[in-house]
Amino acid sequence: MNDRMITGVPEEYEKIREATAELQFTMASDVYTGSLLKTLAASRPSGRFLELGTGTGLATAWIVAGMDKKSSLLTIENNTLLIDVAKKYIDDSRVEFVLTDAYEWITGYRGEKFDFIFADAMPGKYDLFGETIGILKNGGLYIIDDMLPQPNWPLGHDLRVAEFIRHLEERNDVLMTKMNWSTGIIIVTKREQ
């Protein structure tokens, strides 16, 4: 098996990737994560999707490519320059781009729960995890990447990662699988207590 053979790359992917490189944005998700997100997104027909940390929209494009016509995605980013790239290339009525602080958004959210959360920012992952898993439906998917050491990790981030993984392992309301693949993926689901 050659896992480097990636199929079904979203149409807009290359243009977003070029714009991302121009901005010298180095925190973008890789194609492996993207491909996984697309596959998992397709498993949630009529799903409510949430992405925390749109960046320039690389993962957004993959998620959208997996969503069916009745699904919708809310994607949150606090950097105008980055989210504007995503908005420019992902023109899809199923997607709502929200320019705001995800800490405030998560703590203020009172709407319907989500079927799928890609948590790709500090808020929703290392911070406010309990609140974020609280807005995931039972049986919903919560996905995170960058769990293996990355060149752009700030000093001390490895300790934060280890602590977060330990926290996940200790919770009895979640089931999880850790994958030493791509940038290090963890897939979590939540079961009814």
Ligand X SMILES: C[S@@+](CC[C@H](N)C(=O)[O-])C[C@H]1O[C@@H](n2cnc3c(N)ncnc32)[C@H](O)[C@@H]1O
Which CB sits closer to ligand X, 77 or 115? 77
Q: Indicate whether 40 belongs to the interface with ligand X (CB under 6 A).
A: no
Among 9, 13, 15, 27, which residue interacts with ligand X (rule: CB under 6 A)? 27
Within residues 66-85, the interface with ligand X by CB under 6 A covers 76-79, 82
**CA distance to 37, 75, 152, per residue, from 69 (Å):** 17, 17, 36
- Which window, 87-95, 116-124, 133-141, 177-185, contacts ligand X (CB under 6 A)? 116-124
Q: Indicate whether 103 belongs to the interface with ligand X (CB under 6 A).
A: yes
Among 23, 122, 179, 187, which residue interacts with ligand X (rule: CB under 6 A)? 122
Please report the sign of the dihedral spanned by the C-alpha atoms of residue 63, residue 102, residue 145, residue 127: negative
Q: Indicate whether 98 belongs to the interface with ligand X (CB under 6 A).
A: no
Which CB sits closer to ligand X, 51 or 115? 51
Q: Give 148-191 as a DSSP string.
A: S--TTPPTTHHHHHHHHHHHHHH-SSEEEEEE-STT-EEEEEE-
Which CB sits closer to ligand X, 2 or 80? 80
* Token pair for 152: 């752009």
Residue with tokens 């994560």: 33
Among 19, 29, 114, 136, which residue interacts with ligand X (rule: CB under 6 A)? 29
Say if CB 77 and CB 144 are below 8 A apart: no
Say if CB 56 and CB 85 are below 8 A apart: yes
Among 10, 66, 123, 140, which residue interacts with ligand X (rule: CB under 6 A)? 123
